[in-house]
Amino acid sequence: MVLAGAPKALLIDLAGVLHVGDSAVPGAVAALSRLRQSGLPLRFLTNTTRLPRRAIVALLHRLGFEVGEAEVLTAVHATRQVVRERGLHPHYLVHPEIVEEMGPSAAEPDAVVLGDAGPYFTFDRLNTAFCLLMRGLPLIAMARNRYFQETDGPTIDLGAFVAALEYASGTSAEIVGKPAAPFFQAALAELGVARGEALLIGDDLRDDIGGAQALGIPGILVRTGKYRPADEAHPEIRPARVVDDFAAAVDAILHD
Amino acid sequence: MVLAGAPKALLIDLAGVLHVGDSAVPGAVAALSRLRQSGLPLRFLTNTTRLPRRAIVALLHRLGFEVGEAEVLTAVHATRQVVRERGLHPHYLVHPEIVEEMGPSAAEPDAVVLGDAGPYFTFDRLNTAFCLLMRGLPLIAMARNRYFQETDGPTIDLGAFVAALEYASGTSAEIVGKPAAPFFQAALAELGVARGEALLIGDDLRDDIGGAQALGIPGILVRTGKYRPADEAHPEIRPARVVDDFAAAVDAILHD
């Protein structure tokens, strides 16, 4: 997929693109300022489900990024919408930090909802979720990312635990965040642009670039975060461009 | 696959067949005594990797089963043999109970070996194993069972954590216990019988019956342990017979 003219709006991933853990990617703060001056409308799409949106935005502010809370679309919020729209009463296996956004687990649940509980993924919690799935409850996962990049190395992500529960129970999870189409579509709707008019910047070949590509949104892959050289040789997922980092992506967009 | 004449030896699964958790399956102790009187040579094959062999045998003795330690082939022992034959220095993510059989983890490991750590599957331990796999180390799993049946319900098993690490790291695990062919072949070699001369009794359609079937060993599926009615309609794995429990399997073998 190639860039077809100047984009009218940008979809930007957060972790691995603007920052890695508690550090801004070098040059990314200034690059975001340049983007703001261009007036291009932006939405930030994140599969991070260990933190509530206000904490994600607070971290970005601490690192020097100008990002408004309403510009950030999180897999947690998208999942909350799914739960409300369907009138579900889930059992939640999620990080304690996002209980404020999701609410408490139901005593008699009709679904199992998984977020990235991180260290709170214990055997007992996984087993409780497993037993509910064995009773036939559906499994809804906020995301199924394989890993994310921390400053000290890669960290196993929610996707591993989704795979664990799917394998043990014989269930297939419904994924709400990237690469699910409705998540990207919600961002396009907020921005008021068509698929071919938007451009995505991400570090996750499968969930960012692949998810966008499936919808006809071209993607720029950055060589930061969880990027691996093998990503450039994937047989099916083809970024419109691969650049060193967010600053290079912004330069390519503003100067092409 | 059908029974072709009287078997010359039996392969018997333990958990879910002779006992469920700390309780003997009703009638199983007496049925094993009847089998002993028939003189048929037996081997017990277990994918249980939370306990060392002596503890498994001690549990069977407590429940009233006559089983000699040398008759029990465990996935743990089979894995120890693989490690020794290949001269590996693994990082172990296993239950503390079996450290005595496997030895300590190497400081500079060249493989990751997984057993059923049960409650000791913590996020940090999984993440340590994941980081080693991301460096390219091979993954060896003692088994990949989906779940096992406890007296109070199903319990998530090692296979879930194998699936988790495979998914996150993009690695495929080598499985040592059932349904891997070498594990069954070792039992046949000890018994000195050919494939078609042995018969297996198990409660796990995929790992017991399916593994044996792949080698040409017919299997009797018992309706105890992790058995589910849907097992009787599997498109590819066809037990030679399905019976209510171990006692019924023994009756079928001795009186057919």
Q: What is the pLDDT of residues B182-226, one digit of tens each?
A: 999 999 999 999 999 999 999 999 999 999 999 999 999 999 999
Which residues are within 8 A (CB) of B166 and not within 5 positions of it... i.e. 6 or more apart?
A163, B139, B172, B173
Residues from chain A that touch B159, judged by Cβ atoms under 8 A, are: 167-168
Which residues are within 8 A (CB) of B161 and not within 5 positions of it... i.e. 6 or more apart?
A164, B93, B114, B117, B121, B126
Q: Return the number of other C-beta atoms located less than 10 Å from residue A100's C-beta.
A: 10
- pTM > 0.80: yes
What is residue A3's predicted lDDT score, i.e. its pLDDT?
56
Indicate yes or no: CB of A134 within 8 angstroms of CB of B154. yes
Distance to chain A for B128, nearest Cα, Å: 9
Indicate yes or no: CB of B164 within 8 angstroms of CB of A166. no
Indicate yes or no: CB of B146 within 8 angstroms of CB of A123. no
Cα angle, residue A238 at apex, residues A232 and A239 outer, rounded to 5°: 80
Distance to chain A for B169, nearest Cα, Å: 7
What is residue A255's predicted lDDT score, i.e. its pLDDT?
85
Q: Give the tens place of pLDDT for each residue, A178-233.
A: 999 999 999 999 999 999 999 999 999 999 999 999 999 999 999 999 999 999 99
Q: What is the mean pLDDT of residues B77-90?
A: 97
Indicate yes or no: CB of B156 within 8 angstroms of CB of A130. yes
Question: Which of A32-46, A60-74, B1-15, B150-164 has the lowest average pLDDT?
Answer: B1-15
Residues from chain A that touch B146, judged by Cβ atoms under 8 A, are: 167-170
The pair of three-digit structure tokens given for residue A143, joined into one six-digit string: 């995301």
Distance CA(B43)–CA(B50), nearest Å, equals: 20
Verify cis geometry, omega within 30 degrees of 0, for the bond prior to A218: no
* H/E stretch holding A82: helix A75-86
Indicate yes or no: CB of A131 within 8 angstroms of CB of B146. no
Q: Which of A124, A131, A163 sits opposite B167 (nearest CB)?
A: A163
CB of B130 within 8 A of CB of A156? yes
Indicate yes or no: CB of A155 within 8 angstroms of CB of B120. no
What is residue B5's predicted lDDT score, i.e. its pLDDT?
73
pLDDT at A4 exceeding the cut of 80: no
Which residues are within 8 A (CB) of B218 and not within 5 positions of it... i.e. 6 or more apart?
B1, B2, B3, B4, B199, B200, B212, B239, B240
What is residue B256's predicted lDDT score, i.e. its pLDDT?
67
When the pLDDT of each residue in chain B is averaged and rounded to a whole number, the result is 95
pLDDT at A1 exceeding the cut of 60: no
pLDDT at A2 exceeding the cut of 70: no
pLDDT at A25 exceeding the cut of 90: yes
pLDDT at B3 exceeding the cut of 60: no
Distance CA(A129)–CA(A132), nearest Å, equals: 5
Helix/strand/coil percent split, chain B, to 5: 45, 20, 35
Distance CA(B111)–CA(B90), nearest Å, equals: 5
Confidence of residue A149 (pLDDT cuts 50, 70, 90): confident
pLDDT at A99 exceeding the cut of 70: yes
Nearest CA in chain A to B152: A131
pLDDT at B32 exceeding the cut of 50: yes
The pair of three-digit structure tokens given for residue B2, joined into one six-digit string: 């059908």
CB of B95 within 8 A of CB of B120? yes
Confidence of residue A151 (pLDDT cuts 50, 70, 90): confident
Nearest CA in chain B to A146: B168
Indicate yes or no: CB of B164 within 8 angstroms of CB of A163. yes
Confidence of residue B1 (pLDDT cuts 50, 70, 90): very low
Report how many Cβ contacts below 8 Å link chain A to chain B: 94
Indicate yes or no: CB of B165 within 8 angstroms of CB of A167. no
Verify cis geometry, omega within 30 degrees of 0, for the bond prior to B179: yes
Confidence of residue A252 (pLDDT cuts 50, 70, 90): very high
Which residues are within 8 A (CB) of A169 and not within 5 positions of it... i.e. 6 or more apart?
A130, A133, A134, A139, B146, B147
Question: Residue A42 in 3-state DSSP?
Answer: strand
Residues from chain A that touch B157, judged by Cβ atoms under 8 A, are: 168
Distance CA(B217)–CA(B60), nearest Å, equals: 25
DSSP state of B87: T
Distance CA(A174)–CA(A176), nearest Å, equals: 7
Indicate yes or no: CB of B160 within 8 angstroms of CB of A123. no
CB of B23 within 8 A of CB of B62? no
pLDDT at B2 exceeding the cut of 90: no
Phi-psi region of A6 (alpha: psi -120 to 50; beta: other; left: phi over 0): beta
Distance to chain A for B187, nearest Cα, Å: 27
